[in-house]
Amino acid sequence: MLKIKGIIIATIICLLFCQAGLAEGADPVRSTGIISAMQNEIDLLLSEAQIDHTDTVGGVDYHVGTLCGEPVVIAKAGIGKILSAAGMAAMLNRYDISRVFFTGIAGAVGDETQVLDVVVATELVQHDFGYINNDGFAWSGGFEGESGHYPCDAALVEMACRAAVDVVGEAHVFRGTIASGDQFVASEEYVEYLQSEFNAIACEMEGASIALVCERYDTPFVVIRSMSDKADGLAHETYENMGDIAADNSCRIVMEMLESLKNDSAK
């Protein structure tokens, strides 16, 4: 009896070591991180995804599963730079993320960009980072000598632009600087400032903080924005009417990108 028990124990130990060896030698499954500010910016993605489980960390739900055959982690971090940075950092700390797609809506700033056009960021900048004295506000760039400009991954920018053309057509796809700040911009005067100071063609409230966190974690990223308004005096009204349509367009671009990744992996 003791001999049989010894054989069983030895077999179990051998199996455990074999499994450990297989796990060590196997390539880890890495996921694409998809993050947004608002629920309507990920609703279409969640409706199409196969979600395995959802983790709640710091008040943010991280939906883990597959979308278009690719492993993904999808999250709505919240509006503004603080919540988006916190949500992004938590995702990168908890999951094995190979790349980040930020999806959502924004205000069109460039003269050439219109409602429902798409802007793929080549770089992000915090337009409200600086100091205020008796002469008013002065932009001061980034932290600790950083330029304050955060470039997106060039390969992901190209992929996003190709996907955007497939979704909305070439005439409605632009690339350039997106300015981020903790304000909903609805001012023609401030739009002119964003154009002249940063050469921005869109503005929103999260992209630069996502970019900064991804840079700190050495993770490639891209920010994809569908225009819900012109950031002018009618911005609130236009946003109410066009926001959901714009959000779904941005989601469709993300899914086109995931299809492209799946096809590349199959080659």
| Residue of 239 and 77 predicted with greater confidence | 77
pLDDT in tens, 63-103: 999 999 999 999 999 999 999 999 999 999 999 999 999 99
Active site residues: 41, 229
Residues 6+ apart with CB under 8 A from 92: 33, 100, 213, 214, 217, 219
Provide the pLDDT for residue 171.
Answer: 97
Note whether residue 4 is domain-resident: no
Asked if residue 32 has pLDDT above 60, the reply is yes
Phi, psi of 208 (to 5 degrees): -65, -35
Residue (of 88, 91, 61, 78) closest to 150 by Cα position = 88
Note whether residue 228 is domain-resident: yes
Note whether residue 75 is domain-resident: yes
Note whether residue 87 is domain-resident: yes
β-strand pairing of 200-204 with 173-180: parallel
CA dihedral 251, 165, 245, 263 (to 10 degrees): -30
pLDDT in tens, 165-183: 999 999 999 999 999 999 9
Note whether residue 15 is domain-resident: no
- What average pLDDT does range 153-170 have in this prediction? 98
What is the C-alpha separation between 61 and 82, in angstroms, rounded? Answer: 16
**Domain range spanning residue 211?**
30-266
Asked if residue 198 has pLDDT above 60, the reply is yes
Number of domains comprising the chain: 1
- What average pLDDT does range 186-197 have in this prediction? 92
Residues 6+ apart with CB under 8 A from 89: 213, 217
State the SS3 of 49-63: CEEEEEEEECCEEEE
Residue 55 maps to which CATH number?
3.40.50.1580
Note whether residue 17 is domain-resident: no
Residue (of 167, 199, 185, 194) closest to 230 by Cα position = 185
Note whether residue 193 is domain-resident: yes
Note whether residue 60 is domain-resident: yes
